[in-house]
Amino acid sequence: MTEAACRAMIILGIETSCDETAAAVTRGREVLSSVVYSQVAAHRPYGGVVPEIASRHHLEHLPGVLEEALLASGLGWGELDAVAVTYGPGLATSLLIGLSAAKGLALRLARPIVAINHLEAHLYSAFLDPSAPGLESVCPALALIVSGGHTCLLRVEGLGKYRLLGWTRDDAAGEAFDKGAALLGLGYPGGPAIDRASAGGNAGAVAFPRGPRPDRRGPETGLGPLDFSFSGLKTSLLNYLKADPVSGRPERLADVAASYQEAIVDALARGVAAAVRRENLRAIVVSGGVSLNRRLRSRLAELAQALGCRLLLARPEYCADNAAMVAALAGAGGGRAGWNDADACPGLSLGEDALD
Ligand code: KG4
Ligand code: ZN
């Protein structure tokens, strides 16, 4: 089905792939309701997501989140056309909770179930608003998905037609923010903390590495021209702080945080520029939790202008994990309809099957 033909479909979306328990109702690309129960407080003492805690919280909170999403949509259960649910990638035990709830509802309501790839849903989150252009209209486009678990560049030819151009070979960009913030004593989650701490800092104060050196890319290392690597950056921050601690020096902390953030943003921006030029693309579509970063947003805006590309950023409420992106993608005809695909697939990827 085309995007336009499905515009009126009313979909209930469920997202439990990591640590957000989310449900939403969409009608085409219009979000009627979107409820996200964030588990951040429960995971904060551990400095990262603990799978057992995440699944227990999904189990406890999903029923209430579902009811709230339906109530806020102003619709009744019987008005839903289908139930869409994330089936991967993500934490197996977290995915299972969402999938079980979706199957139960689909059976009870006698509606089809649509299995959604979490990465494709992130990509689609930039098109959620009916006032945004349709996905097909901006293709061929580059998608940058940057989150706590993923960092990748994809060539987008249309809905469901993606080719993976590059990805991180170690830490995701969000992970680099989170680990860097822990080293800087800024707490969890690290992305927003570094974003805030960088305000007023000098981004040129410390020359942190911008990904692997060009001579480390090639067949010997398996690192392609559009791949990312952030683990060296984290080690570099660790070594820097050993030699020059920032505790008790707020101004220096701002400089180091801004420099660290700049290194991540710079690596991402360089990858985007190289991909757009190589693939001759017309638009840059950016999504995922890290796309909330203010410096990244402004850098990409400058870059898009310089490259003559259209820039589409997910709205702030749809950057991090949410179920509106899951429901809307199903409403656009994306995902896999049917019970056979509604099984947890923790290692699911996107765009690894070539377009041709
Ligand atoms: O998309 P998301 O909610 O979860 C995954 O699917 O992984 O992204 C969460 C990530 C975390 O690593 C968090 O630190 C990062 O997004 N993040 C940010 C900002 N806000 C959230 N990173 C940089 N700057 C921000 N303002
Ligand atoms: Zn995500």
Close Cβ partners of 111 (under 8 Å, ≥ 6 residues apart)? 80, 81, 82, 83, 105
Q: Which residue has the higher pLDDT, 281 or 356?
A: 281
Tell me the pLDDT tens digit for each residue of 152-199.
Answer: 999 999 999 999 999 999 999 999 999 999 999 999 899 999 999 999
Class of domain 137-314 as given by CATH:
alpha beta
Nearest ligand by distance to the CA of 47: 1
Superfamily of domain 10-129+318-353: ATPase, nucleotide binding domain (3.30.420.40)
Distance CA 304, CA 55 (A): 39
- 355 pLDDT above the threshold of 70: no
Domain ranges in the chain are: 10-129+318-353, 137-314
Q: Which residue has the higher pLDDT, 68 or 354?
A: 68
The residue whose CA has the least distance to atom 16 of ligand 1 is 289
Tell me the pLDDT tens digit for each residue of 278-295.
Answer: 999 999 999 999 999 999
Within 6 Å (CB) of ligand 1, which residues are found? 18, 147-149, 174, 177-178, 189-192, 195, 288-290, 292-293, 320-321
DSSP string, 56-111: HHHHHHHHHHHHHHHHHHT--GGG--EEEEEEESS-HHHHHHHHHHHHHHHHHHT-
Minimum-distance ligand 1 atom for the alpha carbon of 188: 14
Most ligand 1 atoms within 8 A of CB, residue of 37, 152, 292, 299 to mutate: 292
Question: How far does the centroid of ligand 1 lie from the alpha carbon of residue 77, in Å?
Answer: 32
Q: What pLDDT score was predicted for residue 353? A: 65
Helix (H) or strand (E) holding 145: strand 141-146
Nearest ligand by distance to the CA of 118: 2
Q: Which percentage of the chain shows pLDDT scores above 90?
A: 87
Whether the pTM exceeds 0.75: the reply is: yes
Distance CA 145, CA 131 (A): 21
Question: How far does the centroid of ligand 2 lie from the alpha carbon of residue 159, in Å?
Answer: 19
Domain pair 10-129+318-353 / 137-314, same fold = yes
Nearest ligand by distance to the CA of 325: 2
Question: How far does the centroid of ligand 2 lie from the alpha carbon of residue 240, in Å?
Answer: 31
